[in-house]
Amino acid sequence: MSDVVVTGLGATTPLGGDVASSWAALLEGRSGIGLLSEEWAAQMPARVIGRLAVEPSEHIDRVKARRLDRCQQVALLAAREAWADAGQPEVDPERLAVVVGTGVGGALTMLFQDDVLEESGPTRVSPLTIPMLMPNGPSAAVGLELGARAGVHTPVSACAAGSEGIALALDLIRAGRADVAVAGGAEACIHPLPMAGFSRMRALSTRNDDPEHASRPFDKGRDGFVLGEGAGLVVLERADFARARGAHIYAVLAGAGVSNDSFDMVQPHPEGALAALAIRLALRDAGIDASEVGHVNVHATATPVGDVAEAGAILSALGDGAAVAGTKSMTGHMLGASGAVEAIFTILALRDQIVPGTQNADDLDDDPRVQALDIVRGASRKTALRAALNDSFGFGGHNVALVFTAA
Amino acid sequence: MATTEEIQTGLAEILEEVAGVLPADATPEKSFTEDLDVDSLSMVEIATAVEDKFGVAIPDDELANIRTVGDAVSFIEKNQS
C-alpha cells in the first residue's frame, strides 16, 4: 500500500486569513475571540465569538462571491491556498478527488432565504437558494474550481467532519480511486438560531465580559465552547506521485481511525472509550506504537464533560507521554472545519518541531485524567517530534483520529 | 414610462450587478446565454431585478422566450404601465 503525503495547506480562521498568519498567531498565543457586534447579539446569553480574521467575500470576485454561501466562500479560499501551496499539481482531472466535510453547510443561506420567504413570499426567494444551502455546496465549489472529476464527497459529521474528510480522502487514495485529493472541512454559521440552539444545550461559554479568556480547555472555570468559523483544506497525494513531480512534502498522513460512541446523541461516552478506540485504530493503521506519538492536538472544546472524557481517551490509548495542545483556546470551535484546521496545526507542529501552548488553562481541572496529561500551557514548547496525532469528535458520537509522521 | 434608452441602461446595470457583464457589452443583439455567459439561475435573478426596477413582471414562460438583451428591452417597453 502506497504512503499518502501532505503537499499543500490552506486555511482561513479567526486567527488569520491564511495558514501562515494563523500558525504565527497560534504560536504567539494570540486570541481570535471577540464579541459579537450585531444588533441581535444583545439578547443572546453567549456573545463571545470566533469571527474570521479576514472577510472571505473580499477575496473572491464579486459576482462569484454572491453565488456562494459563506461556508462555500471559505472552502474556496482554503482550496485556492492549498492548491497553490502544493504547486498546482498536474494531475488527470479523473484522478483528482475532493472531500470537504461540514457540520451544517449553507445554514446562513437557508435562514436568510426563510426570512425572505416569510417577508416577501415565494417568488422573491433567490434561485440560488438550493445550490447555496446544500451541505455538499462547499465540496462542490472546490471541485468546480479545481475541475476534480474523481468524485466530490461531503462527510457530514458535526464537529468531526473536517477530520473525517481527511480520513476519507486517505481511503480514496489508498483504494486507488484518486492520485490526489483536496480534503478538509468548512463551516460558517454564525447566526442567532444556531447560537440560540447551542445556548439552550448549555454548550456555549457566556464569559461575555472577557472574550479572549472565554475558551478554556481543561481549565476548572471552563463553561462551554466559543463558536467560530473557518475552513481548512490539505492536498493529499500518493507518495510516489508527489515524489515523481518533485513536490514539497510536509508530512506523511500515516493513518486514520474512525469509531462511533453510539452511546448518546450529544453526550460523549464518559470514559472516552470509543474515542480511545479511534486513536488505537489510527495507530494500528499507521503502524506505529503509542510511545512514538510526541504531540496531540486535542479536540478539547472547553465543555465540562467533553474535555475530561477526551483526557481519559488519550491516557488510555496513548499514555501520558505526548505534549497536548488545545488550540480552540485561541480559534474557538469552528465545528466542521475544526478538525481540518487542527490537522494543519498538527502537521506544522511536526514541521517546526514545536507544540503550541494551550491558552487559558490556568487552573487545571482536578480530575486525575486531566492532571495526568502533559498539557503545554501558555508559551509554545520546542520539542523533537516524529509523529503527532489529531483527534476530533462530533455530536452523533463521531470520533476521528489522524496520525501524521515527519516527512 | 421609461424610454428605450433608459430601459437599456437600467438593464445593463442589472446585468452588471447580477452577472458581472460590462455595460459596454450589454448591447441589444447579445444573447444572454451564448454571448454574455448568463446562466438560467441568473436569468431568474435578472427577472426579479427587472420587476423591482421597472415594475414589469416577466412570467416564467415569457422568460424562456427572451434570448437577447434587445428581447428583454422590448418586453419591458411593451409591458410597462
Put simply, the answer to whether A128 touches B48 (Cβ < 8 Å) is no
The secondary structure of A379-393 as a DSSP string is S-EE---SEEEEEEE
Helix, strand and coil content of chain A, in percent to the nearest 5, comes to 40, 20, 35
* Contact yes or no for A126 and B45 at CB 8 A: yes
CATH number at residue B41: 1.10.1200.10
- How many C-beta atoms lie closer than 10 Å to residue A361's C-beta? 26
* Beta-strand pair A387-394/A398-406: antiparallel
**Residue to substitute from A62, A63, A113, A132, interface B, most B β-carbons within 10 A:** A63
Does A398 qualify as catalytic in the annotation?
no
Asked whether the beta carbons of A219 and A164 are under 8 A apart, the reply is no
Residue A230: all three cell numbers together: 473557518
In chain B, residues with a C-beta closer than 8 Å to the C-beta of A124 are 48
CA distances A89 to A296, A343, A381, Å, are: 30, 21, 34
Which residue has cell 478539547?
Answer: A300
Provide, as residue numbers in chain A, all residues whose Cβ is less than 8 Å from the Cβ of B14: none
pTM of the model: 0.97
Strands of A156-276, DSSP E: 180-187, 230-238, 251-260
**Do B45 and A128 count as a contact with CB atoms less than 8 A apart?**
yes
pLDDT tens digits for range A104-129: 999 999 999 999 999 999 999 999 99
pLDDT tens for A25-50 read 999 999 999 999 999 999 999 999 99
- A153 contacts: CB under 8 Å, gap ≥ 6: A97, A98, A99, A100, A139, A165, A168, A172
Residue A123 phi/psi, 5° resolution? -75, -10
Tell me, yes or no, if A159 is annotated catalytic. yes
Q: What is the pLDDT of residue A79?
A: 98
CB A11 within 8 A of CB A186: no
Q: State which residue of chain B sits closest to A122, comparing Cα positions.
A: B48
Interface test with B, best of A113, A123, A129 (most B CBs within 10 A): A123
Rounded to whole angstroms, how far apart are CA atoms A43 and A307?
28
Q: Considering Cα of A31, then A86, then A65, then A343, what sign does the dihedral take?
A: negative
In this prediction the ipTM stands at: 0.91
Q: Looking at residue B1, what is its pLDDT?
A: 85
Q: How far apart are the C-alpha atoms of A251 and A407, rounded to whole Å?
A: 4
Query: Shortest Cα distance from B22 to chain A (angstroms)?
Result: 12
* Predicted local confidence at residue A168, as pLDDT: 98
Q: How far is A370 from chain B (nearest CA, A)?
A: 54
Name, in order, each residue with C-beta under 8 angstroms of A319's C-beta and a sequence gap of 6 or more.
Answer: A290, A291
The residue ranges of chain A whose pLDDT is under 50 are: none
Residues of chain A positioned with their CB less than 8 A from the CB of B42: 127
Contacting residues of B for A134, CB less than 8 Å apart: none
Q: Which residues of chain B are within 8 Å of residue A62 when distances are taken between CB atoms? A: 20
Q: How far is B49 from chain A (nearest CA, A)?
A: 10
Chain B hits for A61, CB-CB cut-off 8 Å, are 20
Residue position matching grid coordinates 411593451: B78
The DSSP letter of residue A80 is H
> What pLDDT shows up at residue A400?
98
Active site residue A299: yes
The CB density around residue A220, as the number of other CB atoms within 10 Å, is 14
- Tell me how many domains chain B contains: 1
Q: Which residue on chain B is closest to A127 by alpha carbon? A: B41
Given this model, what pLDDT does residue A366 score?
A: 97
By C-alpha distance, which of A161, A214, A216 is closest to A187? A161
Q: How far is B48 from chain A (nearest CA, A)?
A: 7
CB contact under 8 A, B44 and A127: yes
**A244 and A204 Cβ atoms separated by less than 8 Å:** no
Q: Are the beta carbons of B20 and A61 separated by less than 8 Å?
A: yes
Residue A296 gets the label, from left (phi > 0), alpha (psi -120 to 50) or beta, of beta
List the domain range (segments joined by +) for residue B39.
Answer: 4-79
Q: Do A63 and B45 touch (CB under 8 A)?
A: no
- DSSP state at residue A249: -
The residue in chain A having the minimum alpha-carbon distance to the alpha carbon of residue B43 is A127
Strand runs (DSSP E) across A159-221, as ranges? Answer: 180-187
Distance from CA of A14 to the nearest CA of B (A): 30
Q: Distance between CA B58 and CA A295 in Å, rounded?
A: 62
**CB–CB of A63 and B18 under 8 A?**
yes
- Is residue B81 scored above 90 in pLDDT? no
